[in-house]
Amino acid sequence: MSSSPILSTSPLAGQLDRLAGAVRVALREAVSAGEPTQAGQYQLGQAFSALRCAAIALTAGPSEHTLLNAQLALAETAGSLVAGGHLFALEAAGDIAAPEPELIDAVYASEPAIEEAEELAMLREIFARFSREAVAPVAERVHRGNLDVPEEIISGLAEMGAFGLSVPEEYGGSASGSATDLLAMLVATEELSRASLGIGGSLITRPEIIARALLAGGTALQKERWLPLLASGETMGAVAVTEPDFGSDVAEIACSAVKVDGGWRISGTKTWCTFAGRANLLAVLVRTEPDRSLRHRGLSLFLVEKPAFAGHSFAVESNGGAMEGRAIDTLGYRGMHSFEVRFDSWFTPDDSLVGEESGRGRGFYLQMAGFESGRLQTVARANGLMRAAKDAGLAYARDRIVFGKRLSDLPLTRYKLARMQSTVAATRLWAGFSAAEVAGGTGALEASMAKAHACRSAEWVAREAMQIHGGMGYAEEYPISRYFVDARVLSIFEGADETLTLKVIVPGVARLA
């Protein structure tokens, strides 16, 4: 904790709590009013998340950075609420002070250290070094050429045990069953994402999701078979949930599996299946019960084997069925490629149904067990990308001379940089807090709020860092343009921002005491 006198004069904790309480009351009223107030509910959900982040960070890691973040969160949230017609925010927020210039100067060029256990600090350095030496040198080339993830990165991460961070030790991973497991995953993901979102931090997301689904409902034999293969990197996985007509509304998916002798035949189309080409195992959520009124209770999860393919398309026939995929060209998040995958009577054996017969109709719940930690991991991805973007902005501002001065010496630039630094400091602290909540079994709402807020913040940080670069930020000569387009996907995948806010955060906050 800093000894700066700036920190001893702030009543911000109480102000944040009062405004958050007023937002919570307003949310209860909005929810009871129903659908006509959906836009208002969305704004209130965003406001509560921002205030929650500021309050947690100010408590968990008091510093000039979290103080500035709290001041800005209070002012901007209250102002946004009033502009949206929520006049209660004026009284609830109380007196709002502008940040002192001394506070801006103390924050703009520094990143506060995160207090970590020695083993986590060592893990951070290991992954940071791999990120610098193996991922960063090829990140631009892969992005600009829309190339595949280099096999050297996959094999390097496998040797480091990166794919086994969420797999229990008894199955060949490194997870001990403690709260440190999630923190280790966040540390690794954040450091890899600093170099590249597409070929770094996101590579270890899919084995995490599949492993947690297996641990939640797989049979003993399924765990013994697949978890060691996932942990070693011998088996690379992808997740196939979204469909062309059904994204966040998972309960309505139409891709189906029909029971046949010895197994099932899967038919239908999945989309946005990241890494489905290179993967040799797909976690496919399908409808096994023809009664569509069952909605999510009619879904089951299969682990479907396939050959691994390089490039942007694949096609394979087996046992009288076929599977083909094509990569969807995207603005960013390149390397792993997101595929549309079509199944035409693809045969998969009985033991590929997660949980086998007892897993019928439980696929939705097993998939969600994986997605909860996946959302938290996305917070770490956002944090890594934000750190890279704000560091790039700071470096450019220090080098760039405008009107006879360094860009970093101009007050507006310092304000922008200070706001970036304080934002990243707060979301990193919230990630650690949320990990403890998730590990304790009570963190679903916390992880969702952290994901939504951190991903929106990443877009803003990348945008402002690009703006500092001026025209060069719009060129492809600097990595900031890659950070900018990569950041845009964060609020779309792992729970679209609007759906996450309206379907999870709003009702969750409204139910809080």
Q: Is 209 helix (H, G, I), strand (E, B) or coil?
A: helix
* CA–CA dist 387, 283 (Å, integer): 32
CB 453, CB 378: distance < 8 Å: no
Catalytic site includes residue 494: yes
Q: Is 112 helix (H, G, I), strand (E, B) or coil?
A: coil
Radius of gyration of the chain measured on its C-alpha atoms: 23
Q: Which two tokens stand for residue 472?
A: 């060069």
Q: Which two tokens stand for residue 358?
A: 């007892």
CA distances from 154 to 158, 159, 383, 426, 505 (A): 6, 9, 22, 31, 35
CB 478, CB 392: distance < 8 Å: yes
Choosing from 243, 437, 446, 494, the catalytic residue is 494
* CA–CA dist 203, 131 (Å, integer): 12
- Which helix (H) or strand (E) segment holds residue 269: the answer is strand 263-274
CB-CB neighbours of 242 under 10 Å: 20
**Residue partners of 437: CB distance under 8 A and separation at least 6:** 443, 446, 447
Tell me the angle at which helices 411-439 and 444-469 cross, rounded to the nearest 10 degrees: 160
* CA–CA dist 474, 284 (Å, integer): 39
Q: Residues with catalytic annotation?
A: 494
